[in-house]
Amino acid sequence: MRRTERIYHFRSTDGETWGPVGSPYQSIMDLTGWHDPVYNLATGVGFTFDLQHIMDLTPDSPLVVSTTPSERFATWRYSHWMWVDGELWVYAEVARPNESNEIRLFRLPKQPR
């Protein structure tokens, strides 16, 4: 199932032994619309109350894509978000115009209320 790049749900009581929640062959979220391209990954947002039923909060388009996409790839993946001295720092792997990827830091200042 690894080659399908879908989302699966597993759980563990000890952090060592993991088992599937439901069928290990059934993705918990269908790949449709913008979610379909397997290797042109972008970042969307989902929400769940029970870790079994996921609500796609970005069904029409990704939340973020690379700011320097190539003709075929707009990859934005593996992002980590954290507050640092009043700014939101976001590290992400993003596509470059030459179709390579790089880790990039985006610094977003906190907006005044």
* Closest by Cα among 66, 32, 60 to 45: 60
Flag whether pLDDT at 104 surpasses 60. Answer: yes
For residue 46 the two structure tokens come to 């989902």
Strands 10-11 and 76-84: unpaired
Flag whether pLDDT at 2 surpasses 60. Answer: no
**pLDDT tens, 55-82?**
888 889 888 888 898 888 888 888 899 9
* Closest by Cα among 35, 53, 55 to 43: 35
Q: Are 52 and 11 contacting, i.e. CB atoms less than 8 angstroms apart?
A: no
Given the structure tokens 């088992």, which residue do they identify?
19
